[in-house]
Amino acid sequence: MGVIRNAPYYSANGMTSNFQTIRRWVLFSEAYCENPDRHILFDATGRFLGWMENAPSDEATQTLLNERRQAYFDNGKVNQWLPGSESTLGYPFALSCNQPHVNVDTSVARLFGDAEADRIWGTWDGISAGSEQQPVSLAKTVQLVWQQRQGNFKQPLQALSFELFLAQLVIESGADKAATSRDNAIGIFQLREQVLEDCAIPTRFYRHRMAQVDCAVRLYVLNRRNLEPLFMSRFEHLPVAKRERLFGLLLVQTYHSGIGNMRRLLGEDEQGKAAKYFADHHNNFSAEDMVVGLLFHNIGRTPWGWESLFYLIDIELVESHIAERVDQLT
């Protein structure tokens, strides 16, 4: 992790765009990831350096990666290189095109009910979505619950956009209510049993899509209440639009990583040093780059890793991908 620890904070400028480029190739099987049996190599700012075909075995692939790393150093593309192994992170960094992830196009089609079989109807806590004769899309159903719950709050979730909320659903579950994670989180918002119990959801409705949305919104409200004081103490001086976007993205990450971990990321200890820097120099960064910088500079510190960073990047990519279709919801 020495490369990450030695990277200056100012290198986060433009980092989101760099990472979005390579993650877009992975998510949509595009460009250099049209063939999944490849690796992409990138530097400490997320800048794409090159790609290579995989060898027949993992060990041989690692050897080729190390040869490519040294070649980039010899050619002046990077100012250092480190050999990687099964247990050691090499540099330049490498990302396999063959990653476990949702099929975005299939999931988005399911979300917006492009096929009649994917349209639904139902009721939950006084909210009705569609009917047996005229079912509606999952996206419309989520919107109905979202709007109803927002109307019940003294403080609506203004910092969290509906597009971001829908995009998270896609990345979490592929819009599939039958989805179950390795940690036994279930349903379209991948909620754990304890969370569903806290939301007073009866066991038989754990996978009910409207109930899942209702519980996810409540979880966001709780996370906002717990995170907002610390966030404002650090970032209150930011322009309103940037501050709200930053807070919304951090709330999404909190959903994934937990409120305790997010508090450490914004706190006064070692993990919080990046937050202090970006708060002091916010004029030089977008809200997106600030979040990516916070996560990148803490990779290797519990619980932060590449998964945390790519989780948020992928959600932002889906947010952009579905924006036009969300605008067409009536």
- On the question of pLDDT at 155 being above 80, the answer is no
Average of per-residue pLDDT across 54-81 = 97
- On the question of pLDDT at 157 being above 90, the answer is no
**Confidence band of 112 (pLDDT split at 50, 70, 90):** very high
* Residues near 20 by beta carbon (within 8 Å), at least 6 away in sequence: 313, 316, 317
Paired strand residues for 70: none
- On the question of pLDDT at 154 being above 80, the answer is no
Q: What distance in Å separates the CA atoms of residue 4 and residue 69, rounded to the nearest whole number?
A: 16
Q: Where are the domains positioned within the chain?
A: 2-96, 104-327
Give the model's pLDDT for residue 330: 67
- On the question of pLDDT at 212 being above 70, the answer is yes
Give the model's pLDDT for residue 164: 96
- On the question of pLDDT at 1 being above 70, the answer is yes
Give the model's pLDDT for residue 156: 73
Q: What distance in Å separates the CA atoms of residue 103 and residue 241, rounded to the nearest whole number?
A: 32
- On the question of pLDDT at 207 being above 80, the answer is yes
Sort residue 185 into left (φ over 0), alpha (ψ -120 to 50) or beta. beta
* φ and ψ of 191, to 5 deg: -95, 140
Q: In this structure, how many other beta carbons lie within 10 angstroms of the beta carbon of residue 125? A: 10
**Confidence band of 74 (pLDDT split at 50, 70, 90):** very high
Class of domain 104-327: mainly alpha
Q: Quick check: helix, strand or coil at residue 70?
A: helix
Q: Quick check: helix, strand or coil at residue 53?
A: strand
- On the question of pLDDT at 295 being above 90, the answer is yes
Entry pTM: 0.96
Average of per-residue pLDDT across 24-44 = 96
Average of per-residue pLDDT across 154-171 = 90
pLDDT tens column, 90-108: 999 999 999 887 899 999 9
What is the average pLDDT value for the chain, to the nearest integer?
95
